Amino acid sequence: MERPFAWERYYPPGVSWDDPIWTSSVPALLDKAVADHRDRTAIEYREREMSFIDLGGLVDQAAAALMAGGIKRGQTLALYLPNTPFHPVCFFGGLKTGARIVMLSPLDAPRELAYKLNDSGARVLITVNLGDMAQKAAGLLADGHLDRVIVCDDRDLGAPGDGVSRLPDQAGVVSWREFARGAVAPDVWPEVDVEDIALLQYTGGTTGRPKGAILTHANLTAATAIYETWQDGNGSTVPGEEKVLCYLPLFHIYALTVILLRQVRSGNEILMRLRFDTQSALRDIEEKRATIFYGVPTMWIAITNLPDIDTRDLSSLRTASSGGAPLPVEVGRRFTELTGMKLLGGWGMTESSPAGTNLPSEGPDKPGSIGIPMPGLEMGFVALDDPIRELGPGETGEMRIRGPNVTRGYWNRPEETEAAFADGYFLTGDIGYMDEDGFFFLVDRKKDMILSGGFNVYPQVIEQAIYEHPAVAEVLVIGIDDAYRGQSAKAFVSLREGADALSLDALQAFLAEKVGKHEMPQHLEIRDALPRTAVGKLSKIALRDEARAKARERNDP
């Protein structure tokens, strides 16, 4: 690709594509933030404030305890944590030991947790005594997937502490307070290189099980630098002056980078919240005067649908952005009508840490566009039948990306790693085109992955679980349009001869312990037979075509 790129003329003043993109280790990023911002508030949670000095001290204590407990460079440490201050403390602390992190979702079913633990090699897991998380972790320990479970106490974070469970009475389970007691920081911390693996972040598609994207310290900090260059350079964010809402889950790459790493680096205050609800979000904006809100489409849909939204005071917001899944065009339009603000967004993926494209705050109105590539990133489209042949404006093909934030491959998956790259670029699996102005558009996904409420949902995982039902002969799962989630899973099932009828409620009850809540099918259709290809393989093509046709009929009566 030759410069200047078409999209560069729409860069905001103060931002250049070739601005330097710095990298460092993640512990070095935190150490600099602590030194630079010291007494400023880093995190506010349940009305309690944690300064940068406090955060740095807790991270050092966590790292010292983990090292005393046997965690060292090159090992994998599992974090099974929701949005509480325990997450950043253990995340930064684990990385300071030289270990790599695997983050597990509280939404995952036990079998998914076990798979990720075994694949990543993690034998120690940190969780919290909220809901059934400690019990699930203890179950994984009992089944031989772990050697030790460390349980943080939610009561240490102050009121309200609802839903706290007891510490499992089981060998190998220890409270964080007991685990960290007496830990002493070493005179010299382990050396952490920028090319060391920082994170195994699981992602995948419909072929095979989820796979761990290898993200180095350089990948994560380069992505942080890219967002910093773009946002600070165009004036949409001011270092040290922002209050940033954190409803997005920190175990997801989007929140980890754009909220935790990015805001810690800049000395901004993170308003950390355990879960999202519209009224608390509006209180944070109206009363705490939050200035930045990164959300997923389901959050913006809920907010714009509030009956009194046009009377609420959102004037403190300087930046509002949507990510994690495609934003319905009408939602963005309604938000602008209500607030006068442009709801920004873009594209990213786990493998790009997740920096990719972004909508410029000023520029032509391009409904449906995912924006333009950010600084330091080379992106474009290549032919579906030849991933080396670059396409011109208006030609549809597969999107590719190259940059310092892009993964070097998948953990223990050499064949999939090789297939993911061509001519030095990572092939994203997204199909679309670039227009004459350099704005990118996506029209489909090469893989069958479903994006539901900002979460990746893999149909094969659901299909495998449904196949365990004694009444099911064959099943196919696809994503269909969902006005709230963006997409939701629909199962098409043919029943075994003589089997009793199967309802959606009965199927959901059967799957309750087998798939996560975000993966649960929201629709079920029983058919005598499922479509097949000419060679007899089950085929989703006809089902997706039917779903699209029905969607068009609903939109164009």
Per-residue confidence of the chain (557 residues) as pLDDT tens digits?
Answer: 788 999 999 998 889 999 999 999 999 999 999 999 999 999 999 999 999 999 999 999 999 999 999 999 999 999 999 999 999 999 999 999 999 999 999 988 899 999 999 999 999 999 999 999 999 999 999 999 999 999 999 999 887 667 888 899 999 999 999 999 999 999 999 999 999 999 999 986 434 578 999 999 999 999 999 999 999 887 778 899 999 999 999 999 999 999 999 999 999 999 999 999 999 999 999 999 999 999 988 888 889 888 888 889 999 999 999 987 777 777 888 888 888 888 888 999 999 999 999 999 888 888 889 999 999 999 999 998 899 999 999 999 999 999 999 999 999 999 999 999 999 999 999 888 999 999 999 876 666 778 888 887 878 788 888 988 999 988 999 999 888 888 899 999 999 889 999 999 999 999 998 999 899 999 999 999 998 765 456 788 889 888 888 877 876 65
Can you give the pLDDT at residue 205? 41
Written in H, E and C, the secondary structure of 343-363 is: CEEEECCHHHCCCCEECCCCC
Give the torsion sign (CA, 355, 361, 364, 367): positive
Q: Beta partners for 204?
A: none
- 403: DSSP letter: S
Domain of 193: which CATH number?
3.40.50.980
Measure the CA–CA gap between 221 and 28, rounded to whole angstroms. 10
Contact residues for 473 (Cβ-Cβ < 8 A; gap 6+): 493, 494, 495, 496, 497, 499
Quote the strand ranges of 139-268, DSSP E.
Answer: 148-152, 173-175, 197-203, 211-216, 243-246
Specify which residues 269 forms β-bridges with: 243
- Predicted TM-score (pTM) of the model is 0.86
**What tokens appear for 157 in the block?**
């974070």
Of 211, 243, 274, which marks where a domain is finished?
Answer: 211
Q: Is the dihedral of CA 43, 47, 49, 55 positive or negative?
A: negative
Listed residue (202, 147, 193, 208) closest to 173, CA to CA: 147
Please report, for the domain that includes residue 486, its CATH number: 3.30.300.30
> Which residue among 153, 180, 211 closes a domain?
211
| Surface-to-core class of residue 511, CB atoms within 10 Å of its CB (0-12 exposed, 13-18 middle, 19+ buried) | buried
Question: Does a structural domain hold residue 544?
Answer: yes
How many Å apart are CA 495 and CA 515, to the nearest integer?
21
Residue 207: predicted pLDDT: 42
Q: Give, in degrees to the nearest 5, the angle at Cα 378 between 446 and 6.
A: 100
User: In which domain, by residue range, is 481 found?
Assistant: 450-555
Query: Smallest Cα–Cα separation from 521: which of 477, 554, 556, 555?
Result: 477
d(CA 20, CA 308): 45
Kindly report the backbone phi and psi dihedral angles of residue 358, in degrees, each rounded to the nearest multiple of 5, phi listed first: -150, 150
pLDDT given for residue 160 in this prediction? 66
CB of 371 closer than 8 Å to CB of 343: no
Among 375, 397, 371, smallest CA distance to 385 is for: 397
Is residue 132 in some structural domain?
yes
Which helix H or strand E contains 60, and what residues bound it?
helix 52-68
3-state SS assignment for residue 289: coil
CA atoms within 13 A on the CB side of 541: 7
Q: Is residue 262 part of a domain?
A: no
Sheet holding 211-216, edge to edge: 173-175, 148-152, 124-128, 76-79, 100-103, 197-203, 211-216
Contact (Cβ atoms closer than 8 angstroms) between residue 93 and residue 63: yes
How does DSSP assign 461-480, residue by residue?
HHHHHHTTSTTEEEEEEEEE
Amino acid in the structure at residue 185: A
Q: How many domains does the chain have?
A: 2
Question: Of the candidates 191, 211, 231, which is a domain's last residue?
Answer: 211
Q: Is residue 21 part of a domain?
A: no
The type of residue at 480 is I
Q: How far apart are CA 485 and CA 283, in angstroms?
A: 23
Beta bridge partners of 382: 390, 398
CA distances in angstroms from 297 to 25, 325, 488, listed in the order given = 32, 7, 13
- Contact (CB, 8 A) for 529 and 497: no
Per-residue confidence (pLDDT) for residue 313, from 0 to 100: 93
Position 114 in a domain: yes
Rg (CA), the chain: 23
Helix (H, G, I), strand (E, B) or coil at 534: coil
The span from the CA of 2 to the CA of 378, in Å, is: 10
Cα–Cα distance, 253 to 140 (Å, whole number):
24
Tell me, yes or no, whether 227 lies in a domain: no
pLDDT value, residue 450: 84
pLDDT (0 to 100) of residue 41: 98
| Burial readout 472-486 (b: 16 or more C-beta within 10 A, e: otherwise) | bebbbbbbbebeebb
Closest by CA to 137, choosing from 78, 92, 91, 85, is: 78
